[in-house]
Amino acid sequence: MNPCIIVGISVLILNTRANVFHLRNCIDMVPSDLTSVEQTSLQPYRVTVSTTEYEDGEPVNVVLSSTDASTTFVDYFLQARCLTCSNLTVPVGTFTIPTGQPPSEILACYNTMAAVTASSTDPKTSVTFTWLPPSGFTDVVIMRATFVKHSTLWWGNVVSQTMNAMSVPLEIDVTLAVTRPRPTRPTRPTLPTTTWSPSASPYTAATSSLGLTLGLLLYMLFVF
């Protein structure tokens, strides 16, 4: 066999196969095959989720992407972590890889399906996965990822918004609403009542006296 062909095949495999993340990286999510240290500058990548309230049996879309089209990444390591569980390093739930996405593979951290990494070092700006919560799960979940721009540049601990279980009711204190007395309107002061009588009116009395006087005068005129 021509040795040049063998060399060519080896180069092709090294250029298309991502191998910086392994099972030994499941806890710290640090790429063990890179000699560079984690970057502390502003992360040029983000992790977004399609909802902040997951529901039992309903898939959640998780997107790893660059903050601008000019920045790419060649590798990544994504996990769904529980923030309210006793063990904060064990991933939870199940990832699936939709058709048409860049080559990726599930990494079975702690025999789960809740970790995914790249299987190709081709530059990319976005990749989408589907996550399902465990059946009956009610804890708080966050997506955490590590992005590798190239062999000497990577960012870790890139996280999404937290997700709460939709089945968990909000803790609202209804005691005050039940026992609080309803406000009462102030009582208007009672005004004294007066009864009007026609006979008590000074105008009516004066009119009656004048009529009596006129009647007497007319009587005297007719008689005398």
Q: Is residue 7 part of a domain?
A: no
Chain segment 25-69, per-residue pLDDT in tens: 999 999 987 878 899 999 999 999 999 999 999 999 999 999 998
When pLDDT is cut at 50, 70 and 90, the band that residue 81 belongs to is very high
163's CB contacts (< 8 A; 6+ apart) are 49, 51, 52, 53, 54, 60, 140, 141, 142
Q: Is residue 174 part of a domain?
A: no
Question: What values do phi and psi take at 208, rounded to 5?
Answer: -65, -40
Chain segment 134-160, per-residue pLDDT in tens: 999 999 999 999 999 998 899 999 999
Q: What is the CATH number of the domain that holds 103?
A: 2.60.40.4060
Q: Is residue 8 part of a domain?
A: no
Q: Is residue 186 part of a domain?
A: no
Query: Residue 141 is part of which domain span?
Result: 14-165
Q: Which of 84, 75, 77, 109 is nearest to 94 (CA)?
A: 109
